Each structure stands twice: as structure tokens, then as C-alpha cells.
Copies of this chain bind each other. A is one copy, B any other.
């Protein structure tokens, strides 16, 4: 298996308890009580099983990356026991745009990176791509975040701001799955 391939499996087992699950746009996912997140596929069957690959960045410039690298934290900090798993699918119209048009909407019009920066270092994020896997996938991206319980409102504000952007007009399916690390605070 590709060593950048992560699995997200909902079911009765996993490192995270699912607290809330709702469709923001389009169809939701089958309900589950636990979420497994990891590089290998677990041995149990899930009510849903999604996977995606961590890849190179598609829009970030050198200047932006320099700022991001200074500010961001990696997923998995001990105290970041709250998480959010948000799979997203963008429309055919998005994928028919050219690179300059996508970049224009992503950052110049929607300030995706600038909005995200405001939540750093409190919110950690990892992006997984699933549009170009061998098997067809129901989402284009799987986004995975973690943060401390007290930073939940920072995270909610971040999502609200992103969902109001021009870029989000191209999102045709989005599910918001909130989790807490099992045994964590």
C-alpha cells in the first residue's frame, strides 16, 4: 500500500468516539459510534470506509508555505483530544476550471489560506486526496483536524468562514463528523 494512504473507518471500534455526525451538504454517511483512523485497513468491517492519500500541495505558494510552516502544528498532539473528520466533494464545474482559475477562487477570492492561518497553531489539519485513486471514491478530499476541547469555537468559526466563501459554492457534498479521542479528555 502507498505509505501516504490513510483509512477512516466508522463502526463499533476505533480510537475515536463519534459525538456528532451531520450532512452539511448532500448525503450524510451511515451512522457509527466509533471512528478508526490509520495507515492500515482495520480487521473489522465498518459502516463506512473511506481512504485518501496525503500528497503535495496544489495551491500554496512559497511565501504562504513559509508562513504556514512557522505557525502550524502536526496532527496528534497529546492535548488535542477533539477531532473533526470532514470529507468533501467538489462539483464537476470546479474540476473543469484551469489551475489559474482554481487558485483565483481558492485564495484571491476566498482567502482559504488566510482564513486557515488565523486558526493556527490551535487547529491542526491533514488533507487526504481521493479523486485519483484506482477505485472510484465518493469524496474528492478527506480533511482531518484535531484541537483541544476549549478551541472548539475557534474551529467552528473557521468552518463558518470557509463555508461562506466563493470556493464553497463548488462543494456539493460535505459531512461533518465530530469525535473525541477515546480515553482522552
Binding site for B on A (CB under 8 A): 1-5, 51, 53, 55-62, 64-65, 95-96, 98-101, 103, 129, 131-136
A55–B95 Cα distance when bound, in Å, is 9
Min CB gap A42→B, angstroms: 16
Partner of A99, one of B53, B60, B101, B131: B60
Q: Is the CB of A60 within 8 A of B134?
A: no
Asked if B98 and A132 sit within 8 Å, CB to CB, the answer is no
Chain B residues in 8 Å Cβ range of A136: 1-3
Interface of A: prevailing SS: loop
Of B3, B53, B56, which one neighbours A95 at CB under 8 angstroms? B56
Cβ–Cβ contact B57 & A131, under 8 A: no
What distance in Å separates the Cβ of A70 from its nearest Cβ neighbour in chain B? 15
- Contact residue among B2, B55, B61, B101 (Cβ-Cβ distance under 8 Å from A100): B61
Residues of B within 8 A of A57 (CB): 98-99
A98 partner residues in chain B, CB cutoff 8 A: 57, 60-62, 64-65
**A149 smallest CB distance to B (angstroms):** 34
**Contact indicator A58/B61 (Cβ below 8 Å):** no
15 sampled A-B residue pairs with Cβ under 8 A: A1-B134, A2-B136, A3-B136, A5-B134, A53-B134, A57-B98, A59-B99, A60-B98, A60-B99, A61-B99, A62-B100, A62-B101, A65-B98, A99-B103, A132-B132
Q: How far is the CB of A128 from chain B (nearest CB, A)?
A: 10
A1: chain B residues within 8 A (beta carbon)? 134-136
Question: Are the C-beta atoms of B134 and A51 separated by less than 8 Å?
Answer: yes
Taking a contact as CB atoms under 8 Å apart, the answer to whether A132 and B134 are in contact is no
